[in-house]
Structure 1
Protein backbone atom coordinates (compact mmCIF):
# COMPACT_ATOMS: atom_id res chain seq x y z
CA UNK A 1 0.00 0.00 0.00
CA UNK A 2 1.28 3.49 -0.70
CA UNK A 3 2.39 5.80 2.07
CA UNK A 4 -0.87 7.72 2.04
CA UNK A 5 -3.70 6.53 4.22
CA UNK A 6 -7.29 7.56 3.90
CA UNK A 7 -9.90 6.97 6.53
CA UNK A 8 -13.60 6.26 6.14
CA UNK A 9 -14.27 9.30 8.39
CA UNK A 10 -17.35 11.15 7.29
CA UNK A 11 -18.10 8.38 4.81
CA UNK A 12 -18.40 5.92 7.73
CA UNK A 13 -20.76 8.25 9.55
CA UNK A 14 -22.91 8.74 6.45
CA UNK A 15 -22.73 5.04 5.71
CA UNK A 16 -23.98 4.13 9.18
CA UNK A 17 -26.92 6.50 8.95
CA UNK A 18 -28.22 5.24 5.60
CA UNK A 19 -31.80 3.96 5.90
CA UNK A 20 -33.98 1.41 4.16
CA UNK A 21 -33.26 -2.27 3.60
CA UNK A 22 -35.02 -5.58 3.09
CA UNK A 23 -35.34 -8.26 5.74
CA UNK A 24 -35.71 -8.02 9.47
CA UNK A 25 -32.92 -6.53 11.54
CA UNK A 26 -32.08 -10.00 12.82
CA UNK A 27 -31.87 -11.41 9.27
CA UNK A 28 -29.61 -8.55 8.16
CA UNK A 29 -27.36 -9.02 11.20
CA UNK A 30 -27.16 -12.77 10.50
CA UNK A 31 -26.25 -12.14 6.84
CA UNK A 32 -23.57 -9.64 7.78
CA UNK A 33 -22.14 -11.96 10.44
CA UNK A 34 -22.04 -14.85 7.95
CA UNK A 35 -20.13 -12.74 5.43
CA UNK A 36 -17.62 -11.61 8.06
CA UNK A 37 -17.16 -15.21 9.16
CA UNK A 38 -16.42 -16.24 5.55
CA UNK A 39 -13.99 -13.33 5.18
CA UNK A 40 -12.16 -14.21 8.39
CA UNK A 41 -12.04 -17.92 7.49
CA UNK A 42 -10.50 -17.02 4.11
CA UNK A 43 -7.98 -14.78 5.89
CA UNK A 44 -7.07 -17.53 8.38
CA UNK A 45 -6.52 -20.09 5.61
CA UNK A 46 -4.72 -17.77 3.17
CA UNK A 47 -7.42 -17.93 0.50
CA UNK A 48 -6.58 -14.63 -1.14
CA UNK A 49 -9.00 -14.95 -4.07
CA UNK A 50 -11.87 -15.51 -1.65
CA UNK A 51 -10.80 -12.41 0.28
CA UNK A 52 -10.81 -10.41 -2.95
CA UNK A 53 -14.24 -11.75 -3.90
CA UNK A 54 -15.56 -10.61 -0.53
CA UNK A 55 -14.42 -7.01 -1.13
CA UNK A 56 -16.72 -4.33 -2.53
CA UNK A 57 -15.75 -3.35 -6.10
CA UNK A 58 -14.42 0.10 -5.14
CA UNK A 59 -12.44 -1.38 -2.24
CA UNK A 60 -10.84 -3.99 -4.49
CA UNK A 61 -10.06 -1.34 -7.09
CA UNK A 62 -8.49 1.00 -4.52
CA UNK A 63 -6.35 -1.84 -3.14
CA UNK A 64 -5.10 -2.81 -6.61
CA UNK A 65 -4.40 0.78 -7.64
CA UNK A 66 -2.57 1.75 -4.46
CA UNK A 67 -0.48 -1.45 -4.42
CA UNK A 68 0.00 -1.55 -8.21
CA UNK A 69 -0.63 -5.30 -8.00
CA UNK A 70 -3.52 -7.69 -8.40
CA UNK A 71 -5.86 -7.94 -5.44
CA UNK A 72 -4.67 -11.48 -4.65
CA UNK A 73 -1.07 -10.29 -4.46
CA UNK A 74 -1.81 -7.05 -2.62
CA UNK A 75 -4.20 -8.37 0.01
CA UNK A 76 -1.57 -10.72 1.42
CA UNK A 77 0.70 -7.73 2.07
CA UNK A 78 -1.81 -5.74 4.11
CA UNK A 79 -1.12 -7.28 7.51
CA UNK A 80 -4.75 -7.79 8.40
CA UNK A 81 -5.06 -8.98 12.00
CA UNK A 82 -6.54 -12.27 13.15
CA UNK A 83 -9.81 -10.65 14.16
CA UNK A 84 -11.09 -12.92 16.92
CA UNK A 85 -14.69 -13.23 18.03
CA UNK A 86 -17.51 -10.92 16.97
CA UNK A 87 -18.25 -8.40 19.70
CA UNK A 88 -20.88 -6.23 18.02
CA UNK A 89 -22.82 -6.05 14.75
CA UNK A 90 -24.48 -2.77 13.77
CA UNK A 91 -26.64 -2.74 10.64
CA UNK A 92 -28.06 0.50 9.29
CA UNK A 93 -30.03 -0.04 6.10
CA UNK A 94 -27.58 -1.28 3.48
CA UNK A 95 -24.48 -0.55 5.58
CA UNK A 96 -22.93 -2.40 8.52
CA UNK A 97 -20.10 -2.27 11.01
CA UNK A 98 -18.79 -5.40 12.70
CA UNK A 99 -16.56 -4.96 15.73
CA UNK A 100 -14.40 -7.98 16.46
CA UNK A 101 -11.86 -8.55 19.22
CA UNK A 102 -8.91 -7.27 17.15
CA UNK A 103 -10.47 -5.65 14.07
CA UNK A 104 -13.44 -3.72 12.78
CA UNK A 105 -14.95 -4.31 9.34
CA UNK A 106 -17.37 -2.13 7.41
CA UNK A 107 -19.73 -3.70 4.86
CA UNK A 108 -22.28 -2.61 2.29
CA UNK A 109 -25.08 -4.62 0.72
CA UNK A 110 -24.90 -5.11 -3.05
CA UNK A 111 -27.22 -7.08 -5.36
CA UNK A 112 -24.86 -10.07 -4.91
CA UNK A 113 -24.92 -9.75 -1.10
CA UNK A 114 -22.84 -8.09 1.61
CA UNK A 115 -19.31 -6.99 0.64
CA UNK A 116 -16.47 -5.67 2.78
CA UNK A 117 -15.83 -1.96 2.17
CA UNK A 118 -13.09 -1.57 4.80
CA UNK A 119 -11.02 -4.00 6.89
CA UNK A 120 -8.16 -3.84 9.32
CA UNK A 121 -9.82 -0.83 10.94
CA UNK A 122 -8.80 0.55 14.30
CA UNK A 123 -10.74 3.20 16.20
CA UNK A 124 -8.97 6.41 17.15
CA UNK A 125 -10.26 8.74 19.87
CA UNK A 126 -12.33 11.53 18.35
CA UNK A 127 -11.09 10.71 14.86
CA UNK A 128 -12.23 8.41 12.04
CA UNK A 129 -11.17 4.78 11.94
CA UNK A 130 -7.73 4.01 10.51
CA UNK A 131 -8.13 1.15 8.00
CA UNK A 132 -5.58 -1.04 6.21
CA UNK A 133 -7.98 -1.71 3.32
CA UNK A 134 -10.78 0.61 2.21
CA UNK A 135 -12.61 1.77 -0.87
CA UNK A 136 -12.41 5.14 -2.54
Structure 2
Protein backbone atom coordinates (compact mmCIF):
# COMPACT_ATOMS: atom_id res chain seq x y z
CA UNK A 1 0.00 0.00 0.00
CA UNK A 2 2.79 2.46 0.91
CA UNK A 3 4.63 1.60 -2.30
CA UNK A 4 1.53 2.43 -4.35
CA UNK A 5 1.15 5.78 -2.58
CA UNK A 6 4.80 6.65 -3.20
CA UNK A 7 4.47 5.69 -6.87
CA UNK A 8 1.34 7.84 -7.18
CA UNK A 9 3.08 10.86 -5.60
CA UNK A 10 6.08 10.39 -7.89
CA UNK A 11 3.74 10.33 -10.87
CA UNK A 12 2.05 13.55 -9.73
CA UNK A 13 5.43 15.23 -9.27
CA UNK A 14 6.51 14.15 -12.74
CA UNK A 15 3.29 15.57 -14.20
CA UNK A 16 3.99 18.95 -12.54
CA UNK A 17 7.63 19.13 -13.66
CA UNK A 18 7.00 20.75 -17.10
CA UNK A 19 4.91 23.56 -15.56
CA UNK A 20 7.45 24.15 -12.79
CA UNK A 21 10.34 24.27 -15.26
CA UNK A 22 8.41 26.59 -17.60
CA UNK A 23 7.78 29.09 -14.79
CA UNK A 24 11.40 28.87 -13.61
CA UNK A 25 12.70 29.45 -17.13
CA UNK A 26 10.29 32.34 -17.76
CA UNK A 27 11.33 33.91 -14.45
CA UNK A 28 15.04 33.50 -15.03
CA UNK A 29 15.01 34.84 -18.58
CA UNK A 30 12.12 37.29 -18.40
CA UNK A 31 12.17 41.04 -18.26
CA UNK A 32 11.42 42.70 -14.89
CA UNK A 33 7.67 42.87 -15.56
CA UNK A 34 7.52 39.12 -16.27
CA UNK A 35 9.62 38.33 -13.22
CA UNK A 36 7.42 40.43 -10.94
CA UNK A 37 4.27 38.72 -12.25
CA UNK A 38 5.76 35.30 -11.47
CA UNK A 39 6.62 36.09 -7.83
CA UNK A 40 4.40 34.74 -5.07
CA UNK A 41 2.68 37.54 -3.11
CA UNK A 42 4.95 37.27 -0.03
CA UNK A 43 8.12 37.32 -2.16
CA UNK A 44 6.81 40.29 -4.14
CA UNK A 45 5.98 42.19 -0.95
CA UNK A 46 9.44 41.47 0.50
CA UNK A 47 11.17 42.68 -2.67
CA UNK A 48 9.05 45.83 -2.86
CA UNK A 49 10.26 46.89 0.60
CA UNK A 50 13.43 47.90 -1.23
CA UNK A 51 11.61 49.72 -4.05
CA UNK A 52 9.33 49.02 -7.00
CA UNK A 53 9.62 45.39 -8.10
CA UNK A 54 10.49 46.16 -11.71
CA UNK A 55 13.35 48.40 -10.60
CA UNK A 56 14.81 45.99 -8.02
CA UNK A 57 14.23 42.46 -9.32
CA UNK A 58 16.90 42.74 -12.02
CA UNK A 59 19.64 43.61 -9.55
CA UNK A 60 18.43 41.21 -6.86
CA UNK A 61 18.17 38.10 -9.03
CA UNK A 62 20.64 37.10 -11.72
CA UNK A 63 19.53 35.86 -15.12
CA UNK A 64 20.02 32.14 -15.08
CA UNK A 65 20.63 29.58 -17.76
CA UNK A 66 19.29 26.13 -18.43
CA UNK A 67 17.46 23.86 -16.01
CA UNK A 68 19.86 21.39 -14.38
CA UNK A 69 17.61 19.69 -11.84
CA UNK A 70 13.99 19.86 -10.71
CA UNK A 71 12.36 18.42 -7.62
CA UNK A 72 8.63 18.64 -6.88
CA UNK A 73 7.07 17.76 -3.53
CA UNK A 74 3.31 18.24 -3.63
CA UNK A 75 2.74 22.01 -3.82
CA UNK A 76 6.43 22.95 -3.44
CA UNK A 77 9.31 22.73 -5.91
CA UNK A 78 12.99 23.53 -6.30
CA UNK A 79 14.62 24.23 -9.67
CA UNK A 80 18.39 24.38 -9.99
CA UNK A 81 19.43 26.42 -12.99
CA UNK A 82 22.97 26.89 -14.24
CA UNK A 83 23.07 30.36 -12.64
CA UNK A 84 20.51 30.27 -9.82
CA UNK A 85 18.30 28.12 -7.62
CA UNK A 86 14.59 28.93 -7.37
CA UNK A 87 11.93 27.71 -4.98
CA UNK A 88 8.33 27.66 -6.16
CA UNK A 89 4.89 27.01 -4.71
CA UNK A 90 1.63 26.11 -6.39
CA UNK A 91 -1.02 28.79 -5.90
CA UNK A 92 -4.56 29.18 -7.21
CA UNK A 93 -2.97 31.21 -10.04
CA UNK A 94 -0.45 28.46 -10.89
CA UNK A 95 3.19 28.00 -9.92
CA UNK A 96 4.86 31.10 -8.44
CA UNK A 97 8.43 31.81 -7.31
CA UNK A 98 8.74 32.13 -3.52
CA UNK A 99 12.54 32.47 -3.40
CA UNK A 100 15.17 33.35 -5.99
CA UNK A 101 18.83 34.23 -6.13
CA UNK A 102 19.43 31.29 -3.79
CA UNK A 103 22.77 29.69 -3.01
CA UNK A 104 23.50 26.63 -0.85
CA UNK A 105 24.70 27.31 2.68
CA UNK A 106 26.20 23.98 3.75
CA UNK A 107 23.87 22.13 6.11
CA UNK A 108 21.89 25.32 6.74
CA UNK A 109 18.97 26.55 4.62
CA UNK A 110 19.74 28.25 1.31
CA UNK A 111 20.53 31.96 1.38
CA UNK A 112 18.21 33.78 -1.01
CA UNK A 113 18.29 37.36 -2.24
CA UNK A 114 14.52 37.39 -2.75
CA UNK A 115 12.14 35.48 -0.50
CA UNK A 116 8.95 36.03 1.39
CA UNK A 117 8.73 35.79 5.15
- With structure 1 as the length reference, what TM-score do the two structures score? 0.74
In 2, Cα distance between the equivalents of 1:76 and 1:99? 19
Selected match of 2:67 from 82, 86, 91: 86
Aligned pairs, how many?
Answer: 108
In 2, Cα distance between the equivalents of 1:75 and 1:103? 14
Pairing of 1:1-136 with structure 2 (within 5 A): 24-42=12-30, 47-65=31-49, 67=50, 69-78=51-60, 80-136=61-117
Greater fraction helix: 2
User: Which consecutive residues of structure 2, in runs of 5 or more, have no partner in the other structure?
Assistant: 1-8
Residue 9 of structure 1 is matched in structure 2 by: none
The structure showing larger relative contact order (alpha-carbon pairs under 8 Å, at least 6 residues apart) is 1
- With structure 2 as the length reference, what TM-score do the two structures score? 0.85
In 2, Cα distance between the equivalents of 1:98 and 1:107? 8
Greater fraction strand: 2
